Amino acid sequence: MLFHVRMHVNLPHDLPASEAEAIIAKEKAYSQELQRIGKWRHIWRIAGEYANYSVFDVKDNAELHEVLSGLPLFKFMKIEVSPLLRHPSSIREDDS
């Protein structure tokens, strides 16, 4: 089941650089593992912002929350979720 997610990161300016780097490295590893197993289907950077649009493919709402609340940057993010479904005009089988 697909979900559209917008994540916007807002790191406090007084967070020590080393701490920020460590979290960001963990975030990258976490994201790539979820991509490899197919749960984080797409991720794009939004030009000019510390933000991304993503599409998740999870089995239900509970798994979506587990994945998102486990993000190392979770407490510094504003997250917006929209449930998606196959569009009646879509010709692409894997967008559902």
Residues near its own copies, by CB under 8 A: 1-5, 11-15, 27-28, 31-32, 35-36, 42-50, 52-53, 55, 60-62, 64-65, 68-69, 75-76, 79-92, 95
Distance in angstroms (rounded) separating the CA atoms of residues 69 and 30: 12
Token pair, residue 9, equals 């990161």
- Distance in Å, CB of 67 to its own copies, minimum: 9
- Residues 59, 63: Cα–Cα separation, whole Å: 6
- Closest to its own copies by CB, 18 vs 92, is 92
Q: Write down the least CB distance from residue 48 to its own copies, Å.
A: 4
Contact of 49 with 63, CB cutoff 8 Å? no
